[in-house]
Amino acid sequence: MRLYSWNVNGIRAVANKGAFAEFIKQYDPDILGLQETKAQQGQAELDYPQYEEFWNSAQKKGYSGTAIFTKTKPHSVTFDFSDDINNKYSLTDNYGDTASEGRVTTAEYDDFYYVTVYTPNSKGALERLPMRSQAWDPAFYDHIMQLEKTKPVIFSGDLNVAYQEQDLANPKANVGKHGFTNEERSGFQKFIDAGFIDTFRHFTPEGNGYYTWWTHWANARARNVGWRIDYFLVSPKLKDRIKSAEIHQTQMGSDHCPVSLELK
């Protein structure tokens, strides 16, 4: 089974460029999680009858959003967090209510849950870091761990954090900046401490140069000056089924590239 994840940074733009059709033709995912769709279902010209589509679009037009395209019909699909989690954490800040931004889509299959997630960016001046670190990250952790009680969980998406120094080209210059704060990295560490497997690093534990996002400035992508902020994490219960995990840096169309996981 081939699972892919891609922050498309606007599905309409990627589709209009022809990049989305090229991606589907080349990689043919069994399950595809998308982030930052920036559209309602039907707004992009997409014709892929082999997939069932589940869209969780933001209330704000042209903003955020996630979706799952799947060849296998899920038992169920849910959007965002449960009421219990929403009531437990303050997920609203001056930028808005993250519960209305379409950031989490969860599909249940026979033997696992698959979750696609678009984690809030902490912003350049860290304006959104308090909500992100004190509410969003704990809420998402609770969401995953609640699912894990029933079935093993696979989750993927743009987590908006570089976990280790090797996950960005210029770590020393970015310590304490959004995407590389201690608070954001600690949120990721909780999953590692719970036994979840960073699948790419499972196969490639050392080395830099493996990035999934590049700024549009200063020809960064051509020079591969980037960040690894897109991931597949897998429940320890599924460790023996992990066959491969890759970053597809040559796929164009977005400022992010897709990442993938193959299960036995």
Active site members: 118, 158
- Calpha distance 175→180 (Å, rounded): 6
DSSP per position, 70-110: ESSPPSEEEES--HHHHHHS--EETTEEGGGTT-EEEEE-S
SS3 category, 122: coil
Neighbours of 156 (CB within 10 A): 27
Contact 94, 87 (CB under 8 A): no
- Distances from the Cα of 11 to the Cα of 35, 39, 57, 247, angstroms: 9, 7, 12, 20
Residue carrying structure tokens 């809030």? 120
